[in-house]
Amino acid sequence: MYTQCPECLSVFSLDVRTLAQAHGHVVCGHCKASFDSIATLAEQLPPEPFHELPVNEPAFEPPCIDLVVYRPRPDPPAVVEQDTVIAEAPAVEDFSQLVFAPRFARESHAHRPARSPRRQRPRSSGEQRWPWIVAGALLALLLVMQLGWAERDPLIRNPTVGGWLRSSCAVLGCELPLVAAPQQIQLLASNVQAHPSVANALMISASVRNNAAFAQPYPILTITLSDAQGQRIAMRRLRPDEYLDDPAILRRGLTPGASAVLLLEVEDPGDKAVAFEFGFE
């Protein structure tokens, strides 16, 4: 089985014993980043060259396994010996504590009319059903809210539903979560030059624009440097917090139609790097 580090994209081979001991959590031997190996766990590698292994989407319900290969036999039930019960001798009746009532008192009590039980008002069918109707409506509403939260990203990306959600949040004063759509980020301009104040470093500037109809977070920026033959000699993946130090800008993200200039500082790989390429994740 194979897994891939999300930071340096290194692919590692795993066996069942290592995976069981780690419970899925491992540390990359190349960049020392810790990650969940089950997220990209695969039995076979795709044909080379490839960029990233596909991410295993979690299931909504645990899968059912029904191929039984072994089941231990249950222990035989314990036999409990019944204790011998010794019959006790019948007790001698004692009539010294009996109380006798006069005959007329017994006759008056016997002729007393019995009290009729209190009649309860029968409940209508509507009174019996309304608690179940309210409980069913609440459960249905809860289910719709859970489904909407689970599918929030596709709903926000949808032009019709996303527009309705944004207009509703504008009225209610709420804020929709940022949804990433890197394929809708356009690179307007880019430039690579020697760093003006740091030796053996490059200053990279990139101008990007959000073409989506919704706000999205700043992307993970991938920079690839190549030589004259087109061979890749260096690659760097930068998270938003590595090239932006303002928490307010990170929290606000890229608004619809907004442009931003990203300034990056990377180590100079040498004179062999003659071409560069930008990517968004």
Pick from 162, 177, 192: which residue ends a domain? Answer: 177
Residue at 90 is within a domain: no
- Domain termination residue (choose one: 41, 59, 77): 59
Of 224 and 107, the one with more pLDDT: 224
List, for residues 93-127, the tens digit of each pLDDT value.
Answer: 665 666 655 555 555 555 555 565 566 566 666 66
Whether the CA torsion 188, 192, 193, 197 is positive or negative: it is positive
Kindly tell me the burial class for residue 26, based on how many C-beta atoms sit within 10 Å of its own C-beta (0-12, 13-18, 19 or more): buried
Residue scoring higher pLDDT (240 or 127): 240
pLDDT at site 8: 92
Same domain, 43 and 4: yes
Does any domain span residue 36? yes
What is the domain-level CATH number for residue 215?
2.60.40
269 shares a domain with 191: yes
DSSP assigned state of 189:
E
Whether residues 157 and 204 fall in one domain = no
Q: Which of 185, 189, 190 is nearest to 210 (CA)?
A: 185
In a domain, 210, yes or no: yes
Judge whether residue 252 has pLDDT over 70: yes
Same domain, 213 and 171: no
Mean pLDDT confidence for 76-97: 57
Residues 156 and 191 grouped into a single domain: no
pLDDT category at 267 given cuts 50, 70, 90 is: confident
User: Do 257 and 194 share a structural domain?
Assistant: yes
Residue 134 lies in a domain: no
Distance between CA atoms of residues 112 and 93, nearest Å: 33
* pTM of the shown model: 0.41
Considering the domain boundaries, does residue 73 fall inside one?
no
Nearest CA to 123 out of 111, 131, 115 is that of 131
Q: Are residues 263 and 197 part of one domain?
A: yes
What confidence score (pLDDT) does residue 107 get?
55
Cis check for the bond before 49: say yes or no (omega within 30 of 0): yes
The mean pLDDT of the chain is 77
Classify residue 248: in a domain, yes or no. yes
148-182 confidence digits (pLDDT tens): 667 667 777 776 776 677 777 767 777 777 888 88
Reference 219, options 178, 261, 180; nearest CA is 180
Dump the DSSP string for 77-138.
Answer: PPP-PPPPPPPPPPPPP--TT--PPPHHHHHHHHTSPPPPPPPPPPPPHHHHHHHHHHHHHH
Dist CA 109 CA 104 (whole Å) = 9
pLDDT, average across residues 169-196:
82
**Domain identity same for 169 and 220:** no
The parent domain of residue 165 ranges over 151-177
Q: Percentage of the chain surpassing pLDDT 70?
A: 75
Structure token digits, residue 102: 């006069």
Name the 3-class secondary structure at 17: helix
SS3 175: coil
Domain boundary among 32, 59, 86: 59
In a domain, 89, yes or no: no
At 39, give phi and psi (nearest 5°). Answer: -60, -35
- Answer whether 204's CB lies under 8 Å from 238's CB: no
Which of 27, 29, 32, 37 has the alpha carbon at shortest distance from 1?
37
Report if residue 33 sits inside a domain: yes
pLDDT at position 87 is 47
Position of tokens 């309860």? Answer: 120
CA 136, CA 74: separation in Å to the nearest integer? Answer: 42
Count of CB atoms within 10 A of residue 37's CB? 23
Q: How many domains does the chain have?
A: 3
pLDDT at residue number 39: 85
